[in-house]
Structure 1
Amino acid sequence: MGAVMRILRYLKVTPGNGLMFFKYGHTYVEGYTDADWACSITDRCSTSGYFIFVGCNLVTWRSKKQKVVSRSSVEAKYHGMAQGTCELLWLRKLLGDLRCVPQKPMNLYCDNKAVIAIAHNPVQHDRTKHEEVDRHFIKEKVDTEIVSFSIYII
């Protein structure tokens, strides 16, 4: 609520500025996620981030230092993907309250093929046992076709 009040105060004191949203004729929900591995020199925690579009309009974004130290870049990106998936689910619920539920699975793009492979095939036990909760959470959302994952190349 504090963040909302801050935004409203900003909009009140800057009447010439504002947030522009354009109508594109669709409400496809797409997200992009990325993470860097062990970037913090002091504790080697990774930083992950995501941003999400609804109908080509940027509606939410976040960058956050992860609480755990990842053992590989795939694990760091997988934690970031789990955070992006949570945000997509929150946005789906919000759109449902507005009676505008997405008709097709929401896309979440990642730039790592191994992360996408783990999301679609969680049987790789030796590689993923230390990230088991995220793995089951993401697999459940893929199986119910709420979220789909794709790769993007920069």
Structure 2
Amino acid sequence: MNQLEKRIWVYIHQEIIIGHKFEKVDKDFWESFKSEKDCRHSVEDLEMFFETSMKTNLLKMNLESWIILDLYKHLKIPISNIAQPEIEQKFNIVMKLDEERFLLDYDYIRKSPVNPKHPILSERKAARRSVERREAFTIRDKLRMAHYLYGKMVEAEEKASPDK
């Protein structure tokens, strides 16, 4: 099921987070997934599998860190006290969670050039606040375009692989 899980996560990311085609993972979403991806599983089986297995195993997926973090944030998947340090260490980030343990925001950590043992936050937030000259695309637009292209690359790779 690992290949199916990856296809589902990429589809969720593409259709809900980037494309805003669906607001949430619901019956309509699964029907669309089944028809577009030619999936033999029933909508009910997909719903059950997603709720009972996929959400808890998201961190184990072989996806880019920003995709996994986007999924946690936009799908409001709670991050347990046990998973938080594991996620922060794995992706080299500091997370901000709300009282229900949903991801609000995160910052990547980098090593200080002066003292490599001392981590400092990236300039991501500072770059976001710089408004001196508006560019044609915002950072969010550029990320969405990159996410979309990544999804298309994964789809092409899946179609090209003979072990479907």
Does the alignment reach a TM-score above 0.5? no
- Which has a greater percent of helix? 2
Structure number with the bigger relative contact order (C-alpha 8 A, sep ≥ 6) is: 1
- Which has a greater percent of strand? 1
Superposition TM-score tier, normalisation by shorter sequence: under 0.3
